[in-house]
């Protein structure tokens, strides 16, 4: 079988199910289906989310970069750098994430662990999607073109080569992990560590 598969092929759809099951399990075991864990990141009381995200970026990114260099991946999937849209969108996202207590992925997972307020927030997300579609004409002409820089990567934008970025990211992450280890973290975080995976 040749890879990548089409996402509309039977095997592709089956893989969507497998990847989703794994993703949902990881989110639940990572305790990011818990409102308290997510909100406490923004209050500097629980760094579980940061640890998960940084580790995912390092492991995922270095692996993908190696596979890309080896020529076994089709290509990058970079999202457009529409400067104003990304800054405003990211800013709104941060406000929404603290109010909701979840992001889209963890919200979906949290509903399935019994969080009723995650379900209510999901309905809010559906409304948000409608609002975006309704205002899309205006967004497309007034927001997205402002500072549009295309599908650019850090290495292209700065001229600093990719491997140098990875050296910096690994170094900064290891430093952060070390600092967090010295901090004792929240009681919930300690309880989480007591029952950690062997």
Partner 1 sequence: MVILKDMENPLHSRSDAPSGLRARSWSPYLVGAGIGVLSWAAFYFVNKPIGMSTEVSKLSGWFASLLVGMERVTSNGYWSGTTPKFGYETIFLIATALGAFLSSMRSGTFAWEKVPSVWSARFGNGVAGRMIAAFVGGIIILYGARLAGGCTSGHGISGTLQLAVSSWVFFISMFATGIVTAALMFRSGKS
Map the footprint of partner 1 across residues 158-197, applying CB under 8 A: 162, 165, 177, 181, 184-185, 190, 192-197
In whole angstroms, the minimum distance from the beta carbon of 175 to partner 1 comes to: 15
Cα–Cα dist 2/100, whole Å: 42
Interface map 10-49 toward partner 1 (x if CB under 8 A): --xx-xxxxxxxxxxxxxxxxx-xxxx--xxxxx----xx
57 touches partner 1 (CB under 8 A): yes
Tokens of 121: 């927030």
In whole angstroms, the minimum distance from the beta carbon of 34 to partner 1 comes to: 7
Q: Report the SS3 class of residue 148.
A: strand
77 touches partner 1 (CB under 8 A): yes
Residue with tokens 């692996």: 63
Cα–Cα dist 196/22, whole Å: 18
- Give yes or no for a contact between 33 and 113, defined as CB atoms under 8 angstroms apart: yes
Cα–Cα dist 80/90, whole Å: 13
113 touches partner 1 (CB under 8 A): yes
Tokens of 62: 């270095």
In whole angstroms, the minimum distance from the beta carbon of 52 to partner 1 comes to: 4
In whole angstroms, the minimum distance from the beta carbon of 190 to partner 1 comes to: 5
């Amino acid at each position: 079988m040749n890879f990548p598969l089409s996402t509309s092929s039977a095997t592709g759809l089956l893989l969507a199910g497998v990847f989703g099951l794994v993703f949902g399990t990881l989110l639940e075991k990572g305790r990011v289906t818990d409102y308290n864990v997510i909100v406490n990141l923004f209050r500097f009381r629980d760094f579980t989310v940061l640890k998960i995200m940084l580790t995912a970026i390092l492991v995922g990114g270095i692996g993908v970069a190696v596979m890309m260099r080896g020529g076994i991946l089709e290509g990058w999937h970079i999202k457009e750098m529409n400067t104003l849209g990304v800054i405003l969108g990211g800013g709104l996202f941060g406000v929404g994430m603290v109010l909701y207590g979840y992001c889209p992925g963890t919200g979906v997972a949290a509903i399935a662990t019994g969080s009723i307020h995650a379900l209510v927030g999901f309905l809010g997300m559906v409304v948000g999607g409608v609002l975006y579609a309704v205002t899309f004409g205006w967004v497309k002409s007034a927001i997205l073109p402002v500072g549009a820089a295309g599908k650019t990567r850090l290495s292209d934008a700065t001229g600093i080569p990719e491997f140098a970025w990875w050296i910096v990211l690994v170094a900064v992450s290891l430093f952060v992990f070390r600092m967090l280890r010295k901090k004792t973290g929240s009681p919930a975080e300690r309880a989480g560590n007591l029952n950690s995976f062997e």
